[in-house]
Structure 1
Amino acid sequence: MTNEAQYLVRVCNDFLNEKIDTVQFVERYQTYFENFQEQLSRDEFEILDFIYMACEYYQSDASIRETDPHLLDEEQLRQAVVKKVQSLNAIS
């Protein structure tokens, strides 16, 4: 696993272990992914891009989520992150 992927997994684990809140996770993850996505392997990119897109669809406001079925709440974001971190660990 590349160093960049390892860092992104650490950010995910910090979120899953509640060391950082959802807003901090989304900001850190997206910033780092945007800056270093070119250093990821193809397989890493495909998995980690899914998490990036889940962050894009995260919406904390329930009234806004009700207007778009594609938007995710915190629990749905956590579930997406868990699934993809497991997928990434399986290929490394």
Structure 2
Amino acid sequence: MKSTQYVEEPVFISDKFIYYGDNRINIPAKYLCLVGGRGTRVNHNEKVQNSFIEWLKSNCELGLHGMPKDNPDKNGHKKTFHLASLRSAGLA
């Protein structure tokens, strides 16, 4: 029997993340080859991946920097993060 207490949606859980959402930043052109869309399956060059990770570490702070820009729920409202929960977990 399926529980009806929780909505079944994919969730990403991490203590190390960078999310810009509607406050996106520009990345150097040499990393644009890493950009894909939803559901994209890729096999990137490991040197490019490692270089990008080092660029992120040097230029970006971990955490939440914006809200989802274009992710409406079934009622047409924008989904929002539960900031209190993120903060209490030390993620925002």
Bucket of the pairwise TM-score, normalised by the shorter protein:
under 0.3
Structure number having the greater helix percentage: 1
> TM-score, length-normalised on structure 1?
0.26
Q: Which of 1 and 2 has higher RCO (CA within 8 Å, sep 6+)? A: 2
> TM-score, length-normalised on structure 2?
0.26
Q: Larger Rg: 1 or 2?
A: 2
